[in-house]
């Protein structure tokens, strides 16, 4: 058993809370070093108190004040660090060996990359980091000797189904004998909804995922299936797999979390209840297994598992993600940035659901040459800012507001 000291970036989110839940079950194995949050300082204070975190990281002075106010009445205030620079430094802090990267969006890239560069065990939930900076991130993992463990349930499943010896380091070629990766997708809340109704769906309907309880951004991504598109790109980088050897299959029950197909026709799958504590516990304890709090899978009660091909007319975002992956890293940055802007506008009630795919399409079409900017974090963040500006412009045009 290895004793681990853990930092959780994005502690107040859905993944962050599940990580703290697993850790609390094993006080003899894990200690929490640092927690970060962007909002919800009261929750962060409660989490820091319960986990006895030594450090918290908050975005600005105002948040620091709210954290300190929320701490009132408790003993020993943790060290409070402020700002994006402090967040990246905390990710690389020698006081912890394991970093859960669970910030949502490209905002999580600098800190996740800092953890990778510092050679940590990186538990990667923040898929956007690989979408925006796949090559840079994987190079950092290889150079520093970081141990990269995917937490996204599909990639965690694939990781579990791959042959031993090809794991946890940052592969440069597909594992030997592997023919295809099969990513499962639930199809989200709108899998069977009449297409003409999609323009009028609300943020709450989009966030009501049939199987998983998640943050609002990834819930909308699941509804559009852009989430699966991001995961195809994530799988491409994690497992060095070309796009034509990554397939998506709809599986409404979310019990088979993904599969690996081998040259001999074998298909290995990982199954379990749809609860992120399973992949989180796997990543924390790898290569051992620990209790996660997730109950047993009752297949007899479940009765059946269904599979179908995704309908690209219903889910244009999935097609756009495959196109971006084939076009290259610059297009993937644009895809992710446009999606973050469009999803935020949809969640704010400022754009219809159907504008999300339209905005991504427009931004991808206006894509310019990225050149050497793909080679550095600063360059990638620059491209990300440009794509966001183009997405905001597109939102102002009538098409962005269509069918409102």
Which residues contact Mg ion by CB under 5 A? 152-154
100 binding ligand NAD? (CB under 6 A): no
15 binding ligand NAD? (CB under 6 A): yes
> Closest CB to ligand NAD among 203 and 366?
203
User: Cα–Cα distance between 310 and 324 in angstroms, integer?
Assistant: 18
128 binding ligand NAD? (CB under 6 A): yes
- In the complex, the smallest distance separating the C-beta of residue 165 from ligand NAD, rounded to whole angstroms, is 26
> Closest CB to ligand NAD among 152 and 384?
152
Partner from Mg ion, ligand NAD, none contacting 161, C-beta within 5 to 8 A by type: none
- Binding mask of the shown chain, residues 50 to 69, with x at each position contacting ligand NAD by CB under 6 A: --------------------
CA distance readout (Å), 105 to 59, 128, 214: 15, 5, 14
For residue 260, the cross-strand partners are 181, 268
Position among 10, 78, 310, 330 found at the interface with ligand NAD (CB under 6 A)? 10
- In the complex, the smallest distance separating the C-beta of residue 271 from ligand NAD, rounded to whole angstroms, is 17
- In the complex, the smallest distance separating the C-beta of residue 300 from ligand NAD, rounded to whole angstroms, is 26
The backbone torsions φ and ψ at residue 268, rounded to the nearest 5 degrees and listed phi first, read: -100, 135
CA distance readout (Å), 70 to 41, 73, 256: 7, 9, 42
- In the complex, the smallest distance separating the C-beta of residue 369 from Mg ion, rounded to whole angstroms, is 32
For residue 34, the cross-strand partners are 7, 55
- In the complex, the smallest distance separating the C-beta of residue 43 from ligand NAD, rounded to whole angstroms, is 9
188 binding ligand NAD? (CB under 6 A): no
- In the complex, the smallest distance separating the C-beta of residue 20 from ligand NAD, rounded to whole angstroms, is 11
> Closest CB to Mg ion among 41 and 294?
294
Number of residues that bind ligand NAD (CB under 6 A): 25
Dihedral, 89, 116, 36, 254 alpha carbons, nearest 10:
170
Partner from Mg ion, ligand NAD, none contacting 252, C-beta within 5 to 8 A by type: none
218 binding ligand NAD? (CB under 6 A): yes
Binding site for ligand NAD (CB under 6 A): 10-16, 37-39, 102-104, 107, 125-128, 152, 212, 214-215, 217-218, 276
């Amino acid at each position: 058993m290895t004793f681990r000291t853990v930092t959780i970036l994005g502690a107040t989110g859905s993944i962050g809370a599940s990580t703290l839940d697993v850790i609390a079950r094993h006080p003899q194995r894990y200690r929490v070093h640092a927690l970060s949050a962007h909002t919800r300082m009261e929750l962060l204070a409660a989490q820091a108190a319960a986990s006895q975190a030594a450090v918290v990281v908050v975005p600005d002075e105002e948040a620091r004040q709210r954290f300190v106010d929320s701490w009132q009445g408790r003993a020993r205030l943790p060290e409070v660090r402020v700002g994006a620079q402090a967040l990246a430094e905390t990710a690389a802090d020698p006081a912890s060996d394991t970093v859960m990267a669970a910030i949502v969006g490209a905002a999580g890239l600098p800190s996740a990359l800092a953890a990778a560069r510092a050679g940590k065990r990186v538990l990667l939930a923040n898929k956007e980091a690989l979408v925006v900076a796949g090559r840079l991130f994987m190079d950092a993992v290889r150079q520093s000797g970081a141990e990269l463990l995917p937490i996204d349930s599909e990639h965690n499943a694939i990781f579990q189904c791959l042959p031993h010896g090809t794991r946890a380091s940052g592969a440069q070629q597909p594992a030997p004998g592997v023919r295809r990766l099969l990513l499962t997708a639930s199809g989200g809340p709108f899998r069977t909804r009449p297409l003409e109704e999609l323009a009028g769906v609300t943020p709450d309907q989009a966030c009501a995922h049939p199987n998983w309880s998640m943050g609002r951004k990834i819930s909308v991504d699941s509804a559009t299936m852009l989430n699966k598109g991001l995961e195809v790109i994530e799988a491409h980088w994690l497992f060095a797999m070309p796009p034509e050897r990554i397939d998506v299959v709809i599986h409404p029950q979310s019990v088979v979390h993904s599969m690996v197909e081998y040259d001999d026709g074998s298909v290995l799958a990982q199954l379990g209840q749809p609860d992120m504590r399973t992949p989180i516990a796997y990543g924390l304890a790898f290569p051992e297994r620990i209790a996660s709090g997730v109950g047993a899978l009752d297949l007899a009660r479940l009765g059946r598992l269904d599979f179908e091909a995704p309908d690209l007319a219903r889910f244009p975002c999935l097609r756009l993600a495959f196109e971006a992956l084939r076009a290259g890293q610059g297009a993937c940055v644009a895809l992710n940035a446009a999606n973050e802007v469009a999803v935020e506008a949809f969640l704010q009630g400022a754009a219809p659901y159907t504008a999300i795919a339209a905005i991504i399409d427009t931004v991808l079409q206006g894509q310019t040459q990225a050149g050497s900017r793909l080679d550095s974090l600063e360059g990638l963040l620059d491209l990300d800012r440009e794509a966001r500006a183009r997405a905001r412009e597109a939102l102002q045009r009538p098409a962005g507001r269509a069918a409102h």
